[in-house]
Amino acid sequence: MTVKAMKTVPTLALAAALGLAGCGFKAQPVPALVAAPAGWAAPAPAGARDVWPAADWWRGFASDELDRLVAEARQNNTDLGQAVARVAQAEAQLRAAGASLWPALSLSLGADGRRPAGGNQWGDSYSAGLSASYEVDFWGANAADRAASAAALDASGFDQETVALTVTAGVATTYLQVLSLRDRLDVARRNLAIAEDVLRLVEVKVGAGAASDLDLAQQRTVVAQRRASIPPLEQQLREQATALAVLLGRVPGGFEVAGQSLDPVKVPGVAAGLPASLLQRRPDLKAAETRLIGADADIHAARAAFFPQVSLSAGMSLADGALGGVFSLSNAAYSIGASLVQAIFDGGRRAAQQDLAEARKVELLEAYRGAILAAFRDAEVALGAVDALNRQRLLQDEVLAQARRALELAQVQYRAGSTDLLAVLSAQQSLYSAEDAAAQVKLSALQAVVTLYRVLGGGWQAPA
């Protein structure tokens, strides 16, 4: 056989092997595990039902500071940074898995110096070798491994989107809590001032003999209660501001929120979309679906392990006593080979690996079904909360208006001597409770919207 013919044989063999390995893994569609309802059971907010929140949904709160905080968190949050790194790891794993679909080439160079026994001259010899090997992927095992890695990469990307959505919702929720606590502190301090004004009035009446020491003690109790309500709110405010700083990737010391109240923050409307679209709108569901594809690939690879492995190899080696002679093809030796390996007995290892892969898919199927059910549940609960809290907020505003009016009347009548202190005490407590409840209800209404954005997928949408 001529040198040219010898060089052609490995090339043809490799080309044929590549052609034979064309039957790679093909992903199967994920079955429909849960039938989506035709509509939401809970009252959906006003708006087109097939419209979903925008990707920058937090701008609906009309807070420039919140916009800045979200942007900072998306840049510096440590959880999100870890998610980005996991995507990079998955990309590297995909490249590594794809390498098995290509031939492996290796080059070797050698030099040797020898001196015969009793001789004075050194003899040098040189060698060079080039070899190629390729595992023919007849049964699609390598292609399935690569498909599993590709699915893992896609799932990592969806996980990153989930983390980004969670971080964004966390920043919004914590920021709103900070503003709400400042509102509640303002309520507590204003009610303390009211209680102190009433206390001065009672002291004047006691001095004039128009009120009893019991009245004085009761009003002093109210003042003490109002003062005691302030430190816990201040501590909660510090805790939430610290939590917000950590979400932004900052050291808590020196971090300050500029906003002072929830009053400028709007309660945005949310379009819930159709339930069937939820499967495409939540990245965590897309991640679970993608992992099912990866599980199918793992099963395919486990089954392929039962079949023989075919490998092709080709090599060329050169050797000569002079360095220049090494590069002369006249000194070349060629080799080609093929091997077929079939495992006969492995103690049930391959069967166990297949059983493991199939059981893993069953687990992922159940996890996916559970995630879908949980998604529909979360959306229903969030929609119900948005509706109920919006109605409660309007009712609480009426409670607050009546409580303010009651205290005004009670104070006027107490100054005129037409009522006793008990009416004033009751009105003070009612006003404080109504104002504090109003602040908390508005916070709950805003947080319910944030939750609804999150459970609907937060405006994120899988690429078509």
pLDDT tens string 244-278: 999 999 999 889 999 999 999 998 877 777 788 88
pLDDT of amino acid 419: 87
In a domain, 371, yes or no: yes
pLDDT surpassing 50 at residue 2:
no
pLDDT surpassing 50 at residue 7:
no
Read off the pLDDT of residues 285-342 as tens digits, 9 standing for 90 and up: 999 989 988 888 888 788 887 778 778 888 777 766 555 555 666 667 778 888 877 8
Euclidean distance between the first and final Cα of the chain, in Å? 55
Say how far apart CA 342 and CA 338 lie, in whole Å: 14
Helix ranges restricted to H, 322-420: 323-326, 349-416
| Residues 225/188, Cβ–Cβ less than 8 Å | no
pLDDT surpassing 50 at residue 189:
yes
Q: What is the CATH number of the domain that holds 206?
A: 1.20.1600.10
Burial track 222-261 (b if 16+ CB lie within 10 A, e otherwise): bbeebeebeeebeebbeebbbbbbbbbeeeeeeeebebee
pLDDT surpassing 50 at residue 16:
no
pLDDT of amino acid 51: 64
In a domain, 5, yes or no: no
| Structural domain harbouring 269 | 29-103+138-307+351-455
Burial track 33-72 (b if 16+ CB lie within 10 A, e otherwise): beeeeeebebebbeeebeebbeeebbebbebeebeebbee
H/E element, 66: helix 64-76
Read off the pLDDT of residues 60-69 as tens digits, 9 standing for 90 and up: 999 999 999 9
Task: Order the strands of the 332-341 sheet from edge to edge.
Answer: 104-114, 123-136, 309-320, 332-341
Helix ranges restricted to H, 229-348: 230-247, 278-281, 283-304, 323-326
pLDDT surpassing 80 at residue 462:
no
In a domain, 117, yes or no: no
pLDDT surpassing 50 at residue 156:
yes
In a domain, 282, yes or no: yes
In a domain, 165, yes or no: yes
* Domains contained in the chain, number: 1
pLDDT of amino acid 109: 79
Mean pLDDT for the stretch of residues 121-141: 76
Percentage of residues of the chain with pLDDT beyond 90: 46
pLDDT of amino acid 17: 45
In a domain, 21, yes or no: no
In a domain, 317, yes or no: no
Read off the pLDDT of residues 19-33 as tens digits, 9 standing for 90 and up: 444 455 676 777 777
> What is the pTM for the complete model shown?
0.82
Centre a 10 Å sphere on the Cβ of residue 415 and count the other Cβ atoms it contains. 13
